[in-house]
Amino acid sequence: MLQGKAHAALISAPGSGQGKSMVTAALARLHRNAGRTVRVFKHGPDYLDPMVQEVASGQPVYQLHPWMTGEHECRWRLAKAAQEVDVILVEGSMGLFDGSPSSADLAILAGIPALPVIDAWGMAQTFGAVAQGLANYHPDLTIHEVIANRIGSPGHSKLLNESMPEGIALLGAIPRHDAMKIPDRHLGLVQASELSGLDAQLDAAAKVLEEAGLGRLPKEVSLSADAPTPAPDYLRGVRIAIAKDDAFAFIYRANLDVLEEMGAALHFFSPLNDSTLPECDALWLPGGYPELHAARFSANQPMREAISAHHRAGKPILAECGGLMSCVEQLVDGEGTGHTMMGLLPGTAKMAGKLTALGLQSLHSQRGELRGHTYHHSLLETAMQPLARTRKLAGSEAEPIYREGALIASYFHGYFPSAPKLVADIFTGQPIHLAE
């Protein structure tokens, strides 16, 4: 049994776009700069926010989601963190009660209070009503205090503070400030690696929060959970090459952990910059932004040939989302320009200019249920017939799973710890036996 105590809060909001990601990052940096060890988690399937949170906290960031990662894993990771750090911050997703399971569901499950960030722009006394509504909506959810974001003046802050209902405090009121802004694009925040001066911005944002009165620690909570059973060594001795650069970057830390737990040796490479693959038995092409770097990847003929040779040799490849887009014949970017890809699979991936698929999904097999999600702005035009399809939570069919030799490709992003044996079969080129 793991047991620990830490100051903890789930940072949420009434809806998307309220500023909770940057507030979470600034809070993490504020407490880190004060000499505290901070661990940030992210509710739900998200790759981009955790990149910024890792820079802010200086600690690895893991996803927590009662369905995708499982309730037990949520409790275990939080209890383990409580043994190791001073402060735990969980960044919520969407609005506090949005989705199933929602950020509120995670807070209730974990036994930590929610700390809503409310955009106060254009709002006065109604701020208190919003806070009261969030606090009283679910009887099992604890909210001690809230944060006002994007206030206009000290007078505005005074009005908000006076509007607070009994039992709920205003932790602080954050003024509009350039340090609290972070750019985004069609899949979410810009990747942390692409942001020059991010550390300096986070320090500046932390100072803004400190001056706004947000330096007080959240409530201390006690957290406990049983440690999970380690995954068997299904991949002992298997060398897996993993693409990782600005075009291929959507990787859950937990996925890397479980591959190593199963005995795999991991070797990272850049499809954009390298000309050869590391010596490997299997290859993982994760999601990312290949559409933004399609010309560079297309021009890197030695790398395209190295991956093609790996495929021709019958060695396993897992291609997820952006990885799938790099494996087809052509990628048409957002400007309508076509780029030659590897041609391991027939078809063309075209940017659609809008969201084309979103949601939690799973692949049901006799080797386990691989849970995960889909989120993309492109469409695949292909004559290929899928080997299988994922299922939405409601049970209907969703993303196709394609197989060509030992290549498995799909828009679906899997959370590997949910089905270690199935993942091991993919990376060793074994058949996928679907559940009946």
> According to the model, what pLDDT value does residue 180 have?
93
Q: Is the pLDDT of residue 277 over 60?
A: yes
Cα separation, 413 vs 190, whole angstroms: 19
- Torsional class of 255: left (φ above 0), alpha (ψ -120 to 50), beta (otherwise): alpha
pLDDT in tens, 31-41: 999 999 999 99
Q: Is the pLDDT of residue 132 over 60?
A: yes
Please give the torsion angle defined by the CA atoms of residues 122, 126, 130 and 131, in that order, rounded to the nearest 10 degrees: 100
Q: Is the pLDDT of residue 121 over 90?
A: yes
Tell me the average pLDDT across 40-56. 94
- Torsional class of 177: left (φ above 0), alpha (ψ -120 to 50), beta (otherwise): beta
Pair 286, 250: CB distance under 8 Å: yes
> According to the model, what pLDDT value does residue 125 have?
95
188 pLDDT band, cuts 50/70/90, is low
Q: Is the pLDDT of residue 332 over 90?
A: yes
**In angstroms, what CA-CA distances link 311 with 242, 280, 283, 329, 341?**
15, 12, 9, 15, 14
Pair 170, 123: CB distance under 8 Å: no
274 pLDDT band, cuts 50/70/90, is very high
Rounded to the nearest integer, the mean pLDDT of the chain is 95
Which H/E stretch holds residue 3?
Answer: strand 2-12
Q: Is the pLDDT of residue 186 over 80?
A: no
Share of the chain above pLDDT 90, in %: 90
Which amino acid, one-letter code, is at 48?
L
Share of the chain above pLDDT 70, in %: 98
Tell me the average pLDDT across 242-254. 97
Identify the CATH number of the domain defined by range 239-427.
3.40.50.880
pLDDT in tens, 416-427: 999 999 999 999
> According to the model, what pLDDT value does residue 397 have?
86
> According to the model, what pLDDT value does residue 400 have?
96
Tell me the average pLDDT across 198-225. 96
Fold of 2-225: Rossmann fold (3.40.50)
403 strand-pairing partners: 408
179 pLDDT band, cuts 50/70/90, is very high
Q: Is the pLDDT of residue 354 over 90?
A: no
Domain ranges (residues) in the chain: 2-225, 239-427
112 pLDDT band, cuts 50/70/90, is very high
pLDDT in tens, 365-413: 999 999 999 998 999 999 999 999 999 988 888 899 999 999 999 999 9
Cα separation, 16 vs 95, whole angstroms: 6
> According to the model, what pLDDT value does residue 355 have?
81
- The reply to whether domains 2-225 and 239-427 share a CATH topology is yes
**Catalytic annotation present for 321:** yes
Tell me the average pLDDT across 142-157. 96
- Please give the distance of CA 398 from its chain centroid, rounded to a whole number: 21
How many alpha carbons lie under 13 Å from residue 281 in its C-beta half-sphere? 14
Cα separation, 241 vs 25, whole angstroms: 31
> According to the model, what pLDDT value does residue 394 have?
82
185 pLDDT band, cuts 50/70/90, is low
Please give the torsion angle defined by the CA atoms of residues 243, 43, 416 and 274, in that order, rounded to the nearest 10 degrees: 0
Burial class (CB in 10 A: 0-12, 13-18, 19+), 234: buried
| Active-site residue (options: 74, 280, 321, 327) | 321
Q: Check the CA dihedral 56-57-60-65 and report its sign.
A: negative
> According to the model, what pLDDT value does residue 357 have?
78
Q: Is the pLDDT of residue 192 over 80?
A: no
Token digits of residue 110: 């974990």
**Global confidence as pTM:** 0.95
Q: CA 169, 174, 177 angle in degrees (round to 5)?
A: 175
Tell me the average pLDDT across 322-345. 97
